[in-house]
């Protein structure tokens, strides 16, 4: 039912998501299966985010631990890779994924953004966000804005390519170029004038 719900949201938007439609799309004969397992539409959305973000957060944590264990100062590329690669693994690199398009839909719905925000507050995400902000060559406020820009750019780019057939080589090139672009965003000089505390 999680896959069916993810696809409905990705293809038709949040307003199309009903527990009945999910049951029908998943081929569930039991008319109360979705209500029993998830409780509500919001419970189902939370389950989708949990199912996809848990492996992404675990992989991100591993990457951050590898950076720490290397004993070298982290680079902007390593930090950006720790942000993007785990999400790319759950979207472009997962066959039949609708998750990036699902995330774009959910994050654009003010009533449901809290479900994604809960998972973006995971320890691994906070660590990589702080690492990126610390590596930026801009005032702290600007660095925070850039992290938001990098996240938004990543989600939209992954959603854009997720719906197209690609070879494995094309997928690798898209993800690599996305990392390159986000590193460039992070390292670009800033003309913003903000007061630095």
Q: Is 73 helix (H, G, I), strand (E, B) or coil?
A: coil
Specify the number of domains making up the chain: 1
Angle, CA 152 vertex, CA 151 and CA 155 arms, to 5°:
85
Rounded Cα gap, residues 182 and 80, in angstroms: 7
Residue 5 counted as domain residue: no
* Token reading at 25: 């799309």
* CATH classification of the domain holding 57: 1.10.357
Q: What is the pLDDT of residues 177-191, one digit of tens each?
A: 999 999 999 999 888
pTM for the model stands at: 0.83
How does DSSP classify residue 15?
G
Residue 39 counted as domain residue: no
Residue 15 counted as domain residue: no
Q: What is the pLDDT of residues 150-168, one digit of tens each?
A: 999 999 999 999 989 999 9
* Token reading at 90: 């759950």
Residue 134 counted as domain residue: yes
Q: Which domain holds residue 103?
A: 49-187
């Amino acid at each position: 039912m999680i896959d069916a719900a993810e696809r409905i949201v990705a293809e038709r938007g949040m307003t199309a998501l009903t527990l009945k439609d999910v049951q029908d799309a998943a081929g569930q004969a039991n008319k109360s299966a979705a209500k029993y397992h998830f409780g509500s539409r919001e419970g189902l959305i939370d389950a989708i985010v949990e199912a996809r973000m848990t492996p992404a957060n675990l992989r991100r944590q591993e990457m951050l631990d590898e950076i720490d264990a290397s004993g070298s100062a982290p680079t902007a590329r390593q930090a950006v890779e720790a942000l993007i690669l785990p999400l790319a693994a759950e979207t472009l690199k997962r066959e039949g994924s609708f998750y990036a398009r699902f995330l774009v839909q959910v994050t654009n719905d003010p009533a449901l953004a809290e479900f994604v925000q809960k998972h973006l507050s995971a320890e691994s995400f906070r660590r990589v966000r702080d690492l990126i902000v610390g590596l930026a060559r801009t005032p702290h406020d600007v660095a925070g804005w850039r992290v938001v820009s990098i996240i938004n750019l990543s989600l939209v780019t992954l959603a854009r390519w997720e719906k197209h057939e690609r070879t494995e080589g094309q997928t690798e090139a898209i993800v690599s170029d996305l990392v390159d672009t986000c590193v460039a965003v992070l390292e670009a000089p800033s003309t913003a004038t903000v007061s630095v505390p």
